[in-house]
Structure 1
Amino acid sequence: MPQINSCSIEDQNNMIPDDEDDGSRLNLNENISLIGIRGEIHQWALKYQIPHNALNELLHILRENSSLALKDILPADSRTLLKTSRRNNIVPIGNGEYWYYGLEQALKNALSQVRNLPSNIFLTFNIDGLPIARSTKKEFWPILCKIKGLDMSPIVVAIFFGSGKPPLEPFLRPFVDELLKLLRDGFKMQGRIISVEIRCFVCDTPARCFIKGTVGFNSYHGCMKCTVIGDFDRRGRHMSFPRTDMPLRNDNSFRNRLDPDHHKERSAIEDLPIDLVNDFTIADSLHLLDLGVMKKCLLGWTSGSFNFHTKWSARETQNISRKLMQIKSTTPYEVHQGRLRELDSLHFWKGTEFKIFLLYYGPVILKEHLPLEVYHHFLILFCATTICYSDTYSSYRHISQKLYVDYIERFAELYGQDVVAATFTTYVML
């Protein structure tokens, strides 16, 4: 019986000619490299937000003119390369359309770029209206999310597009239900459970009233922090809130509707385990101090809308503008946080310009251009704000609230009760 010589797999591999082996390895490495190119183009298109028509043109050039075998690797359409979903999940609600992407999916997409995943994350949410043009009532209402401690752009959870505001319940319900599930169970990623906590909601005043289902900020019961009842000034056609000693709102009084005139409808946000008063940030210095009181004072002094006693003449306004430019040229760069313009451009000043004037320029310049009583009144605002801004004076924070109360009360005495807006009463609640 003839003997059959058996050989090992290693021996059989050794029988392959060297040139054939090198060619197989070369083809394998080339295929791996080509597949890597497809992934790199994918990431590049997402990173720089390349439009689909431009990406389609690039794919066509690479497929037709490249010496590499890219035709079998790269698709002909950008939607295939980017794995664009064919389902858009857009549903009609109210006077528009609603697209809900999903909070969990959005978080996973964002965290996929993070090397060391955290065990728990704190989320800040923002909801606001974004008009697309002045010639139409159409606007976007996105639900955005930000992960505390991670340097990344806000995450889009959902978007409503339509005329005016979306209906509250169908707009918030999918978001609230999913958020409740994530708060309870967290979500799984890379074999581990990541817990989720709510940090706060950051919205402007109209959006904050909308998502909480309360009356507008300019209503009689519109104060978000206390139960003060507004006083409508028919001459100026605006609401003022003169009282600073009214009971504060809290989560319990809000949920139990102790002030029924403050509420319009029930919001799905009330199902979340948050403080419905303190977890909605409203005490931001930009809108309260810089674009609030400081802007109001400068406009009142230059235009005379307060009273004739505090109005600046045209010559005084020019002198103050000249002093601003002189001080600006010698201000240390640590203080100069933006371009400071003359008073004739006051309506176009940015928030940083009002901030610089309040904290640095105002105490020096205003001394010679305001009556002594009015100047001392301004110094009360300056001192209270400096205490709040500086950690050096943190032990005096309890004094700043008393100073703000004193400032509001004297403001009404100097300029009239009707000019005390909701912005002023918010200082007492800081």
Structure 2
Amino acid sequence: MSHNPQLVSNIFMDKVADWLTKSALAGNNLEEIISGFCDRIAATGIPIHRIHLSFAMLHPLYDALGFTWRPSTGLIVERYIHDIEKPEVFLRSPYYKLLTSNLEFMRRRIPAEGPVEFPVFEDLRKENINDYIAFVQPLGNQSSQGMIGSWSTASEQGFSEDVIAALMRIQDHLAVAAKVAVLDKLANNLLTTYLGEGAGKRVLNGQIRRGDGETVRAALVMGDIRQSTQIADTEGRQAYIDALNEFFDAAAQPFNRNGGEIVSFVGDGFLAVYPCGRHKDTSEVACRLAFEAVRQAQARMSELNRQRRANNQKAIGYGLGLHIGNVMFGNVGLRDRLTFSAFGSSVNEVERLQAFTKKYDSQVIASDAFASYCGGDWTVLGDEELRGVGNKVRLKRPELQQEPLLVDALARDLSRPALSEAERVILLHRDASKTAEKKNNFLDRWIQ
């Protein structure tokens, strides 16, 4: 594609800068800002054929968010997860060169044939890209967040000086808008990760005072791992933590989907709720969704224990209690240290139902109320007294389901997605910087 160098319209670029400011003030998320920004940059007439941006995020699950834009595909979003193997090939990334050389930008012309300086250029020239500018933009002097990215063009004459100047100027506006969105996403990430999606939204919407709360009717699931003390005593702290996280990945994950939400992790267990109205129809839907998640959890635990046995590890036992009733959500605690929690008699009852799985040697026990709404075949185990409940509660166990369940989801949840170059570079630089503080020579870690 041929392009004759021309002056960049300052009017158009000012329009892009104004749009970035308005988008940040309007609370647009990072993806909306990046997508709109890329589309508007292309609309100015600047010959852009690929834009890549990565934003390091303070998040327990993700280190960074990556965005790649092309005119033909639009925006593609990638999320980069912690603790992935980092092949040596990514040490030869242009981004890593930038970071380790403490450079703010780097421009390279990509030849149509012959050897290239960085492996990624092999892929870029397949798109006829011949001019490449990489840059680093910190989002604050002391911030752990930052923007790193690149501009690429397939224009025959590459980037003109006028275009380069315009791109360098607009980066600052993009960085400001991105920082606002990153901080907003950071707040959402932390609240969602540590409080759960529903509780996080309640807090963000202003339900923050001690005593603020509400009562909802819900199907409840209480799950708990078995022999956790034995695992901790015989196999050590790390083996116990690993087993606990494997249990949550396999058994708890299904209850955080399709209308369910894990509202708290309690010791070695978890509490999940499926909110519903007080009508029969909505109660049936909630109980059936919860029970479908139970079947998924059982299949996933079977697969997990098969994997553990293959690795000469002990199988993980567990129990699940099922109930339906009113749940209170609210802020409780000290004036200056609150937690958003679920409590009430139904929560206490489902916890005691779960405890009866030990007595009856059953992975799953439900109250008669839950089983009635859920439908299906159930075996009566007996009538038991629950503390705080005036009458005995009839306990039931579900009949074994014959149809097999796919466990592919477990493999997908436990496997880690492949990372793009940008994520590997960010992780490498982060880890290398930590080593530099200790050894004063961070490259030693990667050379040895």
Q: TM-score if structure 2 supplies the norm length?
A: 0.23
Q: TM-score if structure 1 supplies the norm length?
A: 0.23
* Greater Cα radius of gyration, structure 1 or 2: 1
Greater fraction strand: 2
